[in-house]
Structure 1
Amino acid sequence: MAATAAWRRTRVTGYGVTGTVDLAVITCLWWGSLHRTPTRVVLVRDLNETKPYTLALATTDLTSTGEQIVARYASHWSIEQSIKDGKQLLGAGDAHNRLPAAVERTTPLGLANLTVLVLWYDQAGHPDTDLNSRRHQAPWYRRKRHASIEDMITAFRRARITDVTAAQDTPSLFTEPTPTSHATVA
């Protein structure tokens, strides 16, 4: 398909960057999956790429331009990454619910917890310190520029453990203080 496509040079935006690529848009039928539903295949090729195409997208959207379809695809990455992080790192979706209302609430609550974590990190986290620590622990992350959800979870756990430990060391109003010296009274 890429060999016979009509390619044109255009600018597309993806992942916050606008760049020039070769683009081909082909309207066809994808018989095995969609039978008689018209489908558009959008092929993207980076200018310095030797492969026939870099990215292939299929859609039933026949009205958007190829550039819009590529931008829409790129904008979904952060959503997909959030769902993956919520499931793999926070356990969203692992509950064994059976009642319809519980099923409908569990995953959104898990993803809301992810939002709370990111907001907490924005207010209380230390990204520079965490990134330096991560780069030291994992040398393959030398070019890492942003804190990941895993880094945020680690920072939250560290802060929570520190807070709990500090709370245990704080004397309560209802406990006797422990004597600091063993001086005897004559």
Structure 2
Amino acid sequence: MNIKKIIITIIITVNFISCTQNESKKLNKTQMNKDPFYTENSGYDYIRFPLIKPYETISLNKGEEWAIKSDFKPKTPAEIVKAYGIQKINILLRKIIICYCEKYPIIGGEEFPKAWFIFIPEKNINKGFTTEQEFRAYLQTQGIQKEQIEWNTPKELYEQFSKTYCLSWIPDCN
């Protein structure tokens, strides 16, 4: 009887230690930023990576198509912009989200075959453009020159985030 108790105690202890070691590895990846917004990379039926809070990039079909999600509530139909079908994306100056979309983008409540978007969370700016020329002209009003734009695909950023739980714009990431 005592041997059974000892064996059970050993098994429970080994399981506990192995679980805490796995949890420790997970914490090492996410200890850079304690805010769950910046550490979670998936949910029950989606995958995601954070942009600038409260903006995130999500995919409901395992990375085939990406969209930007936020809690921004437009006040008028003209303010409705939805970045669906993201092909290229990046963050400029750690505060300006830019992306290029095809297939599903919506500007002013109307769907277009392609569009460029600029989101500036700290200023509540959400703008969509149907031409690259308009997009770049608006970026210049924010002090961004053409040479400063480097694009990534959502897939590249998601893979990097999944491995490191870090992207260059996430607070406290190196």
User: Which of the two has greater strand per residue?
Assistant: 2
**TM-score normalised by structure 1 residue count:** 0.23
**When the two structures are superposed, what TM-score results if normalisation uses the length of structure 2?**
0.24
Which has the higher relative contact order, 1 or 2, with Cα contacts under 8 A spaced 6 or more apart? 2
